[in-house]
Amino acid sequence: MAGSDDVVLEITPQVLLKAYACGIFPMAESAEDPGLYWIEPELRGIVPFERIHVPKRLSRTIRQEIFTVRIDSDFDGVIGGCAESTPDRGKTWINARIRRLYQELYELGHCHSVEAWRDGRLVGGLYGVRLGKAFFGESMFSRERDASKVALVHLMARLIAGGFTLLDTQFVTEHLRRFGAVEIPRHDYHVLLEDSLNGFGDFFALDREADGAAVLKVLADKAGQRHR
């Protein structure tokens, strides 16, 4: 489902949260287009926590602490990185309106960034929306190899530790499939979404400065529960 919001209502952070609770989210055609459109895919991307897979090479990178991972220390820098054009992504759907809305959600405590830093530089990360026990991943970027992947693994461990039950990726890419992402029908997604809105996920149950070993232990413990 897609439609211009200009005909219906002005989007505020509160309206945006209600939209997420109904299973829809906004996008823009491009960074230059001021309009926003409501999207509700027929097939929704999610990462089931019981299916999470971390490649061995990436696990080594995480253990070696090649990147320092921070939480919510430079939200504007992360969304700016996600809005950058790259050789693989000629244009972005993140316009000025999107940036303003999600910055306001961040200030309200409903939006978070997971950031990969190296030598004092922000080199990758992701951001998304927290509501109940659901986390809605919005976008990620990487200026160095594996930076966004490391941020994603840290996010998944943080959500598991905090009792979240839904990690929504909106769509599924080959990149996300490597970590266990799948597509599910809209009806099934709404069942999961309704359940995840009952309760509270603690985004900071895992320490803000949790290192790679702590993150991998959370994921290993989850995998151990699956095999019992």
Q: Could you report the per-residue pLDDT of 123-171, keeping only the tens digit for each?
A: 999 999 999 999 999 999 999 999 999 999 999 999 999 999 999 999 9
Instruction: Answer whether residue 98 is part of any domain.
Output: no
Segment 15-40 shows an average pLDDT of 88
Instruction: Answer whether residue 96 is part of any domain.
Output: no
Instruction: Answer whether residue 165 is part of any domain.
Output: yes
Instruction: Residue 140: name the closest of 152, 157, 156, 154 by CA.
Output: 152
pLDDT at residue 47 is higher than 50: yes
Instruction: Answer whether residue 216 is part of any domain.
Output: yes
Instruction: Answer whether residue 34 is part of any domain.
Output: no
CB atoms < 10 A from the CB of 102, how many?
27
Q: 8-44: string of b/e by CB count within 10 Å (b at 16+)?
A: eeebebeebbebbeebbbbbbeebeeeebbbbbbeeb
**HEC secondary structure over 123-164:** EEEEEEEEECCEEEEEEEEECCCCHHHHHHHHHHHHHHHCCC
Cα 113 from Cα 72, distance rounded (Å): 5
Q: How remote is the C-alpha of 213 from its chain's centroid?
A: 21
CATH number, residue 145: 3.40.630.70
Q: Is 166 left (phi over 0), alpha (psi -120 to 50) or beta?
A: beta
* Number of domains observed in the structure of the chain: 1
Instruction: Answer whether residue 104 is part of any domain.
Output: no
Instruction: Residue 125: name the closest of 141, 109, 145, 111 by CA.
Output: 141
Instruction: Answer whether residue 33 is part of any domain.
Output: no
Its domain, for residue 211, covers 40-88+109-225
Instruction: Answer whether residue 181 is part of any domain.
Output: yes
* Three-state secondary structure call for residue 39: strand
Cα 217 from Cα 51, distance rounded (Å): 16
Confidence of residue 84 (pLDDT cuts 50, 70, 90): confident
